[in-house]
Structure 1
Amino acid sequence: MFTGLPLHPLIVHAAVVCLPLAALGTIVMAFWPAAARRLWPAVLFVSTIALIAVPLSISSGETLAATVGENELIEAHEEQGEQVLPFVIMLWPAALGLSLATRFRGHRGRPAAPGGAVARPRWHAGVIIVLALLALVGGVGGTVAIVRAGHSGAQSVWTK
């Protein structure tokens, strides 16, 4: 409890805001390198908050469910809330990897190619593709899962 309110709704709102923002930012970073150079600190920060907030939401939800009692709607909400975790676990490494690739782009690699561009190792493109796929799956899946969990949570509160 925090000033008379259960912690669960307070923590959940951090996850509900940060996960879709992290998803959007990570996907933008994956497909728009010029934007990634400006966005990576904020995206990494927001995705880290989402990574922390989702398990805390699950934990605080279990505590709240024990307090208010279980019913069919709360059980459905708990199941849907737990489905968010794998997606945020996929999204965070994508955000970290894209942030690191953006931050250190040009600092590693072969000697400069003609025209002053820095040549990247062959594996670089493959890593970026894998990170982009993780960003898409984790971001879209996580956003869909958190919306579904939020909807079922609202139903469990407002349905009598």
Structure 2
Amino acid sequence: MDSVNGLPLHPLVVHIVVVMVPLAAVFAVLGVVWPAARRKLGIVTPIVAAIALAATPIATSAGESLEKKTPPSAVLERHTELGDQMIYFAAPLFVLAALWWVHTSAWFRENEWVAGRVPALTRGRSQTVITGVLAVLLVVDAVGAVVWVYRIGDAGARSVWGG
């Protein structure tokens, strides 16, 4: 299926990625730098990141289908190449957001079953190291994902509207 009611599927689905990736990135960064936001957002951040991740290959596949019906150009080729790489930002964003949520969730810290199985994640110096590494990786990937969405969108707009 590459169209909906005669409209190409790609521009419809790509807007899910364009909204959800930056939203997940903002939620992730807020969760890292602002504990109150982390508590309020809770599992919402990994859910938004999961939606972004699920929509990414659908948008890519629909884009490849649309590309076959579009006259070739260097700008379109660049857009396609950048789009193919989005999964390398969306997947880590989801994984890191989920790990961050699990690692910082009060429920996981207080649950004896989890605490008994993974004591390194629940207390002590190793928690500080893990927290720092996860925080840095999450923020770096979140920023990279937003930049990548911008680059893809810019190339896509140029391929459609010229420039």
Q: Normalising by structure 2, report the TM-score.
A: 0.85
In structure 2, how many angstroms separate the alpha carbons of the residues matched to 1:129 and 1:106? 20
The alpha carbon displacement at 1:33 in A equals 2.4
- Determine if the alignment matches structure 1 residue 136 to structure 2 residue 142: no
8 Å Cα contact 1:87-1:137 kept in structure 2 = no
**What's the CA shift string for 1:61-95, capped at 9, x where partnerless?**
11110122322121011112123221112211110
**What's the CA shift string for 1:113-149, capped at 9, x where partnerless?**
xxxxxx7233222221121122112110110011011
Q: Which runs of 5+ in 1 are unaligned?
A: 111-118
What is the letter of the counterpart of residue 151 of structure 2?
R
The alpha carbon displacement at 1:27 in A equals 1.3
2:80 aligns with: 78
Q: Normalising by structure 1, report the TM-score.
A: 0.86
In structure 1, how many angstroms separate the alpha carbons of the residues matched to 2:146 and 2:86? 8
Say which of 116, 121, 125 aligns to 1:122: 125
Say which of 139, 151, 159 aligns to 1:156: 159
The alpha carbon displacement at 1:18 in A equals 0.4
Aligned positions, number: 152
Deviates more, 1:27-36 or 1:53-62: 27-36
What is the letter of the counterpart of residue 152 of structure 1?
A
Higher helix share: 2
2:65 aligns with: 63
In structure 2, how many angstroms separate the alpha carbons of the residues matched to 1:56 and 1:102? 31
Q: How does 1:31-110 map to 2 (within 5 A)?
A: 31-103=33-105, 104-107=108-111, 109=115
In structure 2, how many angstroms separate the alpha carbons of the residues matched to 1:131 and 1:27? 11
The alpha carbon displacement at 1:13 in A equals 0.3
